[in-house]
Amino acid sequence: MNRLKRKLIANLQNYLRERQSFIASIPTMDPIWTAPLSLTGYIIKPILGVLNNEGEEVDDNGKCPFLFLLFDNIVRSENIRACAIKFLVKIFSRTGKREYKYYFDIDEGQIQYKVESNNTSEQEFKAAIYLGTSGCHAFYSLVENTLRNIARHSSKKALEKVQEYSKKFTNQNEIFNSGKPILITIEFHYDDNENEEFKEDFIKVKIYDNMGEWKKKNNGIWVLEEKENGKTKHLNVKKNYEKTI
């Protein structure tokens, strides 16, 4: 077993151990203390950070993410592998918007895991996390459930597009442009103007994907359009989140 495989197994074991620690702490501890953790360094990096072929941590392009084994298996039942999952992290603040893209690509016949960022500032964004690094699993569980819900609730047609995209990496064909990847977007809002009263104490977080076909119609009502047997079905969700069919 090479160094990269050993590192990936160790990373997954550490992740699962932290998850069990988090689960055990919920009924047994009072989460009254927090730890200030960097968003990119201590929350995003432990799952999406980059490893090279030797299992060493690098800053930009490499072989795979830290938790490759998790992402390569979490929706594998739908024939979707880690290479077909992209992440886009956005940080909104008074000083502007920063974006970080994490994705697989093929360069000269070789699969690479890449990180792109528009961040040219050294400013560090922190969040006070209850129970420290163990508490990060409250956030990680949302990311995992987003992926599981994609496999469980997305239309067959949408999943087939992702499966087609996966073939690009199975065949290692960079010209193969069919299908589309899953895109998980994670937003951290330090500039939450909608909740002015609380924006100094809380960070608004949004997690969403690109698999639905939701559109805004009729004065802000969200409408899901899906075609079945040639007919379009509509599921309306009103502003107050009451659902009507």
pLDDT tens, 127-149? 999 888 889 999 999 999 999 99
Higher pLDDT, 65 or 201: 65
Instruction: Please return the burial class of 133, using the count of CB atoms within 10 Å of its CB with bins 0-12, 13-18 and 19+.
Output: middle
Calculate the dihedral angle through the C-alpha atoms of 118, 136, 41, 6, rounding to the nearest 10 degrees: -110
What percent of the chain is modeled with pLDDT above 90? 49
Q: What is the pLDDT of residue 244?
A: 36
Higher pLDDT, 5 or 216: 5
Q: What is the pTM of this model?
A: 0.82
Sign of CA dihedral 24, 26, 30, 35: positive
Note the pLDDT of residue 213: 61
Per-residue confidence (pLDDT) for residue 183, from 0 to 100: 95
pLDDT given at position 177: 66
In this model, does residue 212 exceed pLDDT 80? no
Q: Residue 175 above 60 pLDDT?
A: no
- 148 vs 119, residue with greater confidence: 148
Average pLDDT rounded to a whole number, residues 12-26: 93
Higher-confidence residue: 119 or 50?
Answer: 50
Distance CA 181, CA 16 (A): 26
Q: What is the mean pLDDT of the chain?
A: 83
Residue that wins the pLDDT comparison between 221 and 14? 14
Only one residue has tokens 């090279």, namely 52
User: What's the pLDDT band for 217 if we cut at 50, 70, 90?
Assistant: low
The region that residue 96 occupies, defined by phi over 0 for left and psi between -120 and 50 for alpha, beta otherwise, is left
- For 169-175, what is the mean pLDDT? 67
Q: What 3-state DSSP class applies to 153?
A: helix
Average pLDDT of the residues in 7-36? 91
Percent of the chain topping pLDDT 70: 79
Determine the 3-state secondary structure of 173 from DSSP: coil
The reported pLDDT for the residue numbered 245 is 33
